[in-house]
């Protein structure tokens, strides 16, 4: 039997709405809007597609758990945002990424980017 998460107050300060997933629907929508689409964040074009494919080919098994297939080309050790802030000419170069599975990516994001996307 699937367990439901307990409801809690939205994690956005001052919001009284109850949710079972951190933010209420309205604040989740606002955060996604601020974050922008994948293309607006620099993903999805032919260069990104090629770089992602190279990383997944190089690391077919997750470099963290070493059990699951890699599905995500994760910027590491610096995030894409940090690389852009540093003025790195090609933040999506395969040598700046590692192949990891979705569960490991979610765990890493939660650990290193608290609150989802630092917003």
Residues 64 and 86 in one domain: yes
Residues 26 and 48 in one domain: no
Residue 81 has pLDDT above 50, yes or no: yes
Q: How many domains does the chain have?
A: 2
User: Residue 103 belongs to what H/E stretch?
Assistant: helix 102-112
The confidence score (pLDDT) of residue 118 equals: 45
Q: How far apart are CA 53 and CA 61, in angstroms?
A: 13
Which residue range(s) make up the domain with 118? 42-119
Query: pLDDT tens-digit profile of 38-53?
Result: 666 666 677 888 999 9
Query: pLDDT tens-digit profile of 9-22?
Result: 888 889 998 888 78
Average pLDDT for 78-94: 91
Residues 15 and 64 in one domain: no
Residues 59 and 30 in one domain: no
Beta strands 72-75 and 97-100 are antiparallel
CB 51 within 8 Å of CB 44:
no
Residue 98 has pLDDT above 90, yes or no: yes
Cross-strand pairs, 61: 69
Residues 62 and 28 in one domain: no
Q: How far apart are CA 100 and CA 63, in angstroms?
A: 6
Beta strands 18-19 and 97-100 are unpaired
Per the model's pLDDT, the better-predicted residue between 3 and 73 turns out to be 73
Cα dist from 58 to 1, 74, 95, 107, whole Å: 39, 13, 10, 22
Residues 107 and 67 in one domain: yes
Q: How far apart are CA 50 and CA 113, in angstroms?
A: 26
Residues 50 and 22 in one domain: no
Residues 49 and 89 in one domain: yes
């Amino acid at each position: 039997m699937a367990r439901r998460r307990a409801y809690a107050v939205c994690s956005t300060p001052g919001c009284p709405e109850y949710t079972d997933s951190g933010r209420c629907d309205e604040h989740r929508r606002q955060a996604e809007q601020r974050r922008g689409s994948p293309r607006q964040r620099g993903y999805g074009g032919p260069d990104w597609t090629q770089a992602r494919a190279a990383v997944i080919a190089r690391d077919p098994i997750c470099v963290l758990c070493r059990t699951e297939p890699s599905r995500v080309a994760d910027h590491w050790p610096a995030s894409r945002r940090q690389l852009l802030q540093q003025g790195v000419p090609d933040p999506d170069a395969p040598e700046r990424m590692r192949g990891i599975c979705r569960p490991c990516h979610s765990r890493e994001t939660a650990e290193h980017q608290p609150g989802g996307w630092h917003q």
